[in-house]
Amino acid sequence: MLFGTTKISSSEVAGILAKAESHFFDFKDKRSIPKVEKSASAFANADGGELYVGIGDAKEKDRLSHLFKNEEDANGCVTQIFSLFNAGPEFVTCHFYEMAGRGLAILFTIHKTPFVVRTSANRTFRRQNAQDRELTSAQELTRLELEKGVHSYEDAKVEATPDELKTAETMRLFLENVTPHSDLDDFLKRERLTVDGKLKACALVLYDDNPQSLMPQAAAKVYRYKTLNLEGEREDLEGQPETIEGPAYEVIKKTVARTKQIVESIPILSSSGLVSVKYPEDAIHEVICNAVLHRDYSLNDYVHVRVFDNRIEVESPGKLAGPVTVKNILKQRFARNKKIVRLISKFPSPPNKDVGEGLNTTFKSMQELNLGRPEIVETDSSVIVRLKHEPLASKEELIIDYLKQNGVISNTKARAVCNVQSDSVIRKIFRTMIAAGELEKVPETRGTGTKYRLPVSN
């Protein structure tokens, strides 16, 4: 819990009242604590947010007419909201604001929780845009628990028996190398990898030679798009997407190898001519490894690896689990598939040997090669990591370096050198450089054939 009181001026009050309700922000009247509970539940079960209690909505004539008189008057509301977070009180904080002498408003700052937050009436809500949407069906509630990592599909029963692993080469090699040695039945029993005489999904994904026969989503797809565009279209696709199957260990290994092979075949234009794209190997490995190990296996979708002319995109099915958000992903630790993560680390040369360092390694490796920071985006049903091949040198520096090597440059060449899609961006850079005396137009060139050079001394 965090308490404190801050006196704010009329102008600061006006600033608060001017805020619009959104996916991350709401006002609630103190007269309806059940509605306050709804919003607290909704924010905690989505992406977190800020909730002012005691302030009416924008439709009311006097939005400050029902503020709390003092902290004692607000105690009941505070106690009620914190009671919803008994499983983790650190995920909600509270602060009082004295609204220009009119009374107190409470600001609850609610963080995304690794557990489901329900109201005192045992109802479950989730924030969607500026609405608190109730989840009522068993399917919706199960989906929320899977997304949060309360439960994982790795423990789901699949239609395969333990006997089917007796002929699996992956299982045999694992048992030969794991310490202490044990036979198949003892190992499955010790690790609790069966339920009602059937394998759990995690056992199938890890130890079956072809888990995709029952779980097609356990594969990865690799695409090569010959474009700089934000979205790859069918006409940009080089060849057919490749499907990589096998146990998780092999999917990671083969997907990394194939991605590297594709990337290294891409020529890019530098100041010294055409060179191969170079990404740090461990950055590619860590992003793909994370995508396979931490994905939501309940979703019927593959891990997608898309190689563009200027970046690699790795899309992993499922939202960020537990308390992990895009903002805290480098510091927060949470494994959706705890058994898969733990057991794959027992393989010889495990793909996740540096447990917990995955994306930190990626960021560090990209920085060491003077490339841009990886970009992490969370969609409604997946997490996308983009590794961009964009040198941190300024575009002006890249153009000058090219001119020192090649003498002249056109708009088309400059776009390729700078990894820029828009010719208008390059035209603006050219104008700025000409005005600064760093560039001049080559005489008697015009239109699409216009070329530029370093200034010639008189």
Tens digits of per-residue pLDDT, 288-347? Answer: 999 999 999 999 999 999 998 888 999 999 998 888 888 887 777 788 899 999 999 999
With CA atoms as reference, report the closest residue to 169 among 242, 249, 100: 249
Query: Which stretches of 279-375 are DSSP H helices?
Result: 281-293, 338-344, 358-368
Sheet holding 92-99, edge to edge: 5-8, 92-99, 104-110, 49-53, 25-28
Sequence-ordered strand ranges (E) for 61-208: 92-99, 104-110, 124-128, 131-135, 194-195, 198-199
Model confidence at 168: pLDDT above 80: yes
Read off the pLDDT band of 401 (50, 70, 90): confident
Domains of the chain: which residue ranges?
5-136, 153-213, 218-388, 395-453
Total-model pTM: 0.74
Distances (CA, A) of 254 to 116, 145, 259, 296, 440: 37, 31, 8, 20, 49
Residues 50 and 108 sit within 8 Å (Cβ to Cβ): yes
CATH no. of 5-136: 3.30.950.30
Sequence-ordered strand ranges (E) for 213-287: 220-224, 242-244, 267-270, 273-276
DSSP 22: B
DSSP 356: T
How far apart CA 423 and CA 434 sit, in angstroms, is 16
Task: Classify 218-388 by CATH class.
Answer: alpha beta
How far apart CA 263 and CA 360 sit, in angstroms, is 22
Read off the pLDDT band of 392 (50, 70, 90): very low
Residues 455 and 438 sit within 8 Å (Cβ to Cβ): yes
Tens digits of per-residue pLDDT, 200-224? Answer: 999 999 999 999 999 999 999 999 9
The CATH classification of domain 395-453, taken from the options 1.10.10.10, 3.40.640.10, 1.10.287.610, 1.10.460.10: 1.10.10.10
Model confidence at 458: pLDDT above 50: no
Sheet holding 408-410, edge to edge: 408-410, 451-453, 440-441
How far apart CA 376 and CA 362 sit, in angstroms, is 12
